[in-house]
Amino acid sequence: MYAFALRRLLISVPLLLVSSMIVYALVHFAGDPLRDLEGRNPPVPPAVLEERRRLLGLDKSLPEQYWNWLTGIVTGDFGPSVKGIDIGADLSRRLGVTMRMVILAILLAVILAMVVGVLSAVKQYSGVDYTATLLGFIALSMPVFWLAALLKEFLAIRINQAIGKTVVYTIGESTPGLEGGLLTKLADQAGHLVLPTIALAAVNYAAWSRYQRSSMLDVLNSDFIRLARAKGLSRRRVMVRHALRCALIPLTTVVALDAGAILGGAVITERVFAWHGMGEMLLNAANDQDVNRLLAWLMVSAVIVVLFNLVADLLYAYLDPRIRYA
């Protein structure tokens, strides 16, 4: 198992290196970050432009720029920002904000997909199956921003009115200036997490539940499941120990492959709920043409995607012990 994990980890290193090259090239050829300064009226003095180019490292060749950037991010230095922001500190703060929503949304979506997918497969062509299919297609059809508006209007407001105080928040990732102990702050963050987590999880759960249903149906019709039932094993043991474990492999693949799409969905979700996370950083960097902040976001996103796929590889070995010997 450890040798399998080490091999997968070593494979991830060149993958990240190639990803960094592609990311850097795409951002480099997207445009000149000093374009706004060059087009101002009255014009900016050439000496000021040259100094800005030197500070941003744009006076060097492309291979030199890439090498300086790559060696910098390895040590935690993401380079200078057009706005003079400490990119590393800003990124670490925003990453924590975004990842707590993303991880909870993935966990919620996976649990719902497993439950709904298994029930739909076990009760194929029943009312449960048709209802789950209908709800899944409705969730897939709803844009995130519209679903967020519905959640704010019909969930948050009604819950808060029923309880008599605000426990489900519609704006921000936490209450500014909140005083109290650790439990008070955790409860406040949990209240802010409810709506964004549901909105981000809804679309993913709908798609993943269909994969889980299809995978479960294939496994239930397999010879080894029929053999297990013929040997007298209980229905519950066959479902949990044998069928579900094998049926989770395709779902694991889909979740790992959708990691990038989930991060992209988090950008919209953060915008709707006014979160100050990675999504806001991406939009601000694009508007300001801040190359190094944009590169930092893209590179961290690439690392997260690779880590999700690494975790998926390790889960394969756990779900099917034959895989680790391949």
Query: Which tens digits make up the pLDDT trace of 96-139?
Result: 999 999 999 999 999 999 999 999 998 888 999 999 989 888 88
DSSP category for residue 232: T
CA atoms within 13 A on the CB side of 24: 17
pLDDT in tens, 150-179: 888 888 888 888 888 888 888 888 888 777
Place of tokens 């950037």: 69
pLDDT in tens, 184-208: 888 888 899 999 999 989 888 888 9
pTM for this structure?
0.85
CA distances from 156 to 14, 166, 187, 198, 312 (A): 46, 9, 15, 12, 35
What are the structural domain ranges in the chain? 2-325
Q: Tell me which CATH homologous superfamily contains domain 2-325.
A: MetI-like (1.10.3720.10)
Distance CA 9, CA 25 (A): 25
pLDDT in tens, 6-49: 887 888 888 888 888 888 888 877 766 676 666 666 777 777 77
